[in-house]
Structure 1
């Protein structure tokens, strides 16, 4: 009977990271050590401020609410449902819980002993990095479902120095300083500080005659104790140094070194020949060294982009961003966070391209230089959903100028747009097959012309107008004057308010999108051509959802929410009766984004076409599950927009 239970636990755990990274033997070892506990609704697991338990937790059934005490009362920070891992500060911790955990409903939990998992951390670098990614920012939840991560998005948006997810270009290689500054016990504090200043380092290791480490003094010690507390400079270093040294072997794996620093809150880690204090010092690693090795961290990539106008270097950085993207996707990082990070990187490239173009042409057009303009991202990039470097869609909007400057303005902004497009192409973003780019004079126009374009599309919803609406209505200002974009948005919603029938045509267009499954519930694949027998995930699954989300958000008059899963989240608030359906649709879209991006990364293409025969059983079922909301949503718009009349 015991073996049956262990097997059931293992079968469940292997579906969720980090357990999905374990081999069969390790998974069975963990499963055999798991305790299964039941909690009634509202029963507490642990409270904020309590010492961490020797377990972390996995939700088998039910839901757990993580809450935080605030002046206004108890605030729910996160919900954990099936497969979610939480309470993991115990794993790296030695610190109290920062949140409380209560059963939001009757729940069944797996308690995983930290002692069992620690050995795996030391041997399995993928598991180690998975946890390290979450703990760098002190997260207590590692989610497998990635639609509810507003907090991560806000952190990233508001603080570009955030390192909440650290991804390394080569985790096995990190800069280790071998020339360690050392000093003996005869030094006083002033002598030690002078040596540190002369060598321009942030620490000094105090050693004995055999060069064995006795302690360490850092610049933080000098600031917080010597300066702040007024300790005399003549004080022996033995009175100031941190004597309870934690040391590691210099040839330890990166994950071992990094996790040791996180676990023990170390800014400097001393390395010795045999990994004990009874061996000569032969290296030191600092958190600064870690930072320099973070080749694929969002913050580092963005910082590098902001400090270069070299298009070759920009391309290299964007290539590295793709490595980071692969790691995020494979490790089930929140799609909201992933989309935010990739959008931020793409936007910085656009902003730098804008600077390059301005530097190149502004001096030749002094009378136009001060004219406000705005570079618009359209389509998937406008919706903040472009993970891969698929083809670009963009345009330029500029303020109206006097008659005598119209020719010069048109010429200048076309050059600006063309230069930006060229930079994007150089960075690996291919040109648009339909030529919807800022290098096409048709899409480089003053505000009055753009208003005319949209008014015409809304007034005369031809097939071309409806096609344009799927691209241009999702514009987003990236560089230049966002006020211009706001004026255009205001005009569009005024027009939609006056011409409601346009929404009926949008609804018809959304309703007529091709179905993903055939009569016998098989994938509808291409019948001929280059992609014969492949499934078009964009046309048959993603576009139906983007079209419906756009239509419904327009019908509510909501502005400045372009992202598809954000639109569904907003719709869930606006229409409580359809709340669950909209949440399900948003999650489905995130899954589709992830699947397409992974497909593209694995095959070096845009990921649009997937061969169903190459999908595993679980992947096929997951993909089919994402189709479920489409038919329900189409039925809603059929009734709401009276499509029976329009379809006659």
Structure 2
């Protein structure tokens, strides 16, 4: 493959986990071995029940539907989009495909050889963790970075506690079976299979007289080593068993057991007294046991959402996600991971709500139901930072249709948007006080109208226009066609490039927030109203950092980075002279959204207003420390955009 193509492949891959975790050398090795496949609409990549390919896949461009065979026909389970990694069962378990992969739009697919990737999976714990949730729940698509990125732990972290793998450990104890089906080496495969049938289990351990494990036979072994090879039933078990047996100590931590299974792609892990195969068996844990042990874990909740369109059940799962969030906050799990998990759960609720809406309304509007549309998350959800069920901000864009169909399209897509908003309300999300929701006709528009909106905001930056820009510039595609969102993003950045003075107005607006501390270094609190004597952590601390991150990335022409953490990480790369300051800003933002989430969970609200006297001395000081990078960045903005002279 020519170097120029390898470089393009590597540039694309490094935008998405798990490839973003790789070194340049590892990435180049993967990119060199990638097979590039172009498939046209209507073709099939793989079918349910097919043996696994020696590759797993990442969608470069286009759209693929994953469907499941039903007695009444195929049922679509997943809509794949750019950057989605799928077919991972070939990597994790070498099982047959559980879904069909049908090309719904002409698609470019990168096929990653499993053999090349296996060495990385063994040596790179971060990559193994990334695939862990998919391994436990049997998913074939992984979208989010579910790894540990930033190591900051925020408020009052106990340095004596190792939280590096708490992401998978919210249960009081690991569930495993102490009753292990065993036999000795004198048994035949026919006898072993009958024992498995009688016990209704999928594995049997071959042991010696001291009950030490010598090998293991699973259902898969019987299929691939006995039936497929036409071996007779009187074949000794020793001929087909997998040996030596990978073992662990029964009182090992959940994360250690889980990672052992991930790295060795095991569906069963044998537990022994001392953790070696030289001591007696005392239990066995299966991937199903792992799933049950995870309780309110990301894998379980995501799996539940993927398999329901019942709004009450969706509400229940989101309630459980709140319990998981409380656990993560209590145990000070890193906020980039927490935000990533909560975003994935919120996104899935919206995606399932869209399916409900389409099922309800599409048949009533056949003329326009096939038109492309994109559901957009705005605000904190658009930035992948919504931890609590605060008020929803969303919108809907659809492709321009023929003049005669415009009224019908407007009616149909408004009903879709309204249905989604109602589902979110039923799931506990609040209504937006400013009516910035997909139930408001103003924010359900064809792409040409959206371009007019953004063009007017940029060309005529009034106070209201700047407020709208600050909300809508953070949009993120959740469901429907990502191409419409990309088209809109490119339009915005081209428009800003044509009128760079808009950034000066935006910078001026960024500094409009009053300072969080008064003359005597006390918190500036509300003077009247419902929240009198309370500190507004959103308006005075979180929003300034969000606005600064947005402004500075816009000024660099960075496209597709909405998350405030990631914006500051990107800025540190673009401006190495300010690397430390941007790092401090990212950590400050983490502390602030953690503190807000903790306050919200404690008080049963959105956590926006805090009584300063309720904070401990260390918490008060930590909060004040977050204001330092805000002030420094505001000073930089003031000079960079010449705000002392601007507008005079």
Q: Do these two structures clear the TM 0.5 threshold for a shared fold by scoring above it?
A: yes
Give CA-to-partner distance per residue, 1:437-466, whole Å, 9 cap, x none: 000111111112111111222222222112
Does 2:356 match 1:373? no
Does the Cα contact within 8 Å between 2:171 and 2:295 map onto a contact in 1? Answer: no
When normalised by structure 2's length, the TM-score is 0.68
Does the Cα contact within 8 Å between 2:170 and 2:327 map onto a contact in 1? Answer: no
2:142 alignment counterpart: 159
2:343 alignment counterpart: 343
Q: Give the match's secondary structure for 1:433.
A: coil
2:84 alignment counterpart: none
Aligned equivalents of 2:243, 2:371: Cα separation in 1 = 60
Question: Structure 2 matches for 1:305-320, cutoff 5 A?
Answer: 305-320=305-320
1:422 alignment counterpart: 422
Does the Cα contact within 8 Å between 1:167 and 1:324 map onto a contact in 2? Answer: no
Q: Give the match's secondary structure for 2:645.
A: helix
User: Where do 5+ consecutive residues of structure 1 fail to align?
Assistant: 1-65, 75-136, 142-148
Which stretch of the first structure deviates more once superposed, 330-339 or 436-445? 330-339
1:409 alignment counterpart: 409
2:217 alignment counterpart: 218
Aligned equivalents of 2:348, 2:26: Cα separation in 1 = 38
1:553 alignment counterpart: 553
Aligned equivalents of 2:590, 2:400: Cα separation in 1 = 39
Aligned equivalents of 1:236, 1:194: Cα separation in 2 = 14
Aligned equivalents of 2:242, 2:559: Cα separation in 1 = 58
When normalised by structure 1's length, the TM-score is 0.68
Aligned equivalents of 2:28, 2:392: Cα separation in 1 = 47
Counterparts in 2 of 1:174 and 1:151: CA distance versus 1, 3 Å: closer
Aligned equivalents of 2:524, 2:386: Cα separation in 1 = 25
Following TM superposition, by how much is the alpha carbon of 1:492 offset from its aligned partner in structure 2, in angstroms? 1.8
Q: Give the match's secondary structure for 1:396.
A: strand
1:586 alignment counterpart: 586
Aligned equivalents of 1:411, 1:69: Cα separation in 2 = 50
Give CA-to-partner distance per residue, 1:291-334, whole Å, 9 cap, x none: 23323222332222111111111112222222222333333333
Aligned equivalents of 2:236, 2:534: Cα separation in 1 = 74
Following TM superposition, by how much is the alpha carbon of 1:185 offset from its aligned partner in structure 2, in angstroms? 6.8
Give CA-to-partner distance per residue, 1:253-311, whole Å, 9 cap, x none: 8x7677567679886567899x999x999975433212233232223322221111111
**Count of residue pairs brought into register by the alignment:** 509
Does the Cα contact within 8 Å between 2:374 and 2:485 map onto a contact in 1? Answer: yes
Question: Structure 2 matches for 1:123-522, cutoff 5 A?
Answer: 159=142, 171-172=171-172, 175-177=175-177, 181=181, 183=183, 187-197=187-197, 199-204=199-204, 217-219=216-218, 234=234, 237=237, 268=268, 284-522=284-522
Aligned equivalents of 1:422, 1:73: Cα separation in 2 = 47
Following TM superposition, by how much is the alpha carbon of 1:385 offset from its aligned partner in structure 2, in angstroms? 1.0
Q: Give the match's secondary structure for 1:558.
A: coil
Does the Cα contact within 8 Å between 1:535 and 1:609 map onto a contact in 2? Answer: yes
Q: Give the match's secondary structure for 2:468.
A: helix
2:541 alignment counterpart: 541
Aligned equivalents of 2:223, 2:166: Cα separation in 1 = 28
Quick check: which has more Rg, 1 or 2? Answer: 1
Q: Give the match's secondary structure for 1:376.
A: strand
User: Where do 5+ consecutive residues of structure 2 fail to align?
Assistant: 1-20, 30-120, 135-140, 148-164
Following TM superposition, by how much is the alpha carbon of 1:606 offset from its aligned partner in structure 2, in angstroms? 1.1
Aligned equivalents of 2:131, 2:271: Cα separation in 1 = 37
| CA RMSD, 1 decimal | 4.2
Does the Cα contact within 8 Å between 1:183 and 1:206 map onto a contact in 2? Answer: yes
1:46 alignment counterpart: none
Q: Give the match's secondary structure for 1:643.
A: coil
1:572 alignment counterpart: 572
Aligned equivalents of 2:573, 2:452: Cα separation in 1 = 33
Counterparts in 2 of 1:384 and 1:152: CA distance versus 1, 3 Å: farther
Aligned equivalents of 2:645, 2:307: Cα separation in 1 = 57
1:632 alignment counterpart: 632
Q: Give the match's secondary structure for 1:595.
A: helix
Aligned equivalents of 1:245, 1:397: Cα separation in 2 = 53
Following TM superposition, by how much is the alpha carbon of 1:611 offset from its aligned partner in structure 2, in angstroms? 2.2
Aligned equivalents of 1:543, 1:292: Cα separation in 2 = 40
Counterparts in 2 of 1:439 and 1:198: CA distance versus 1, 3 Å: same
Aligned equivalents of 2:203, 2:406: Cα separation in 1 = 62
Following TM superposition, by how much is the alpha carbon of 1:228 offset from its aligned partner in structure 2, in angstroms? 10
Following TM superposition, by how much is the alpha carbon of 1:479 offset from its aligned partner in structure 2, in angstroms? 0.8
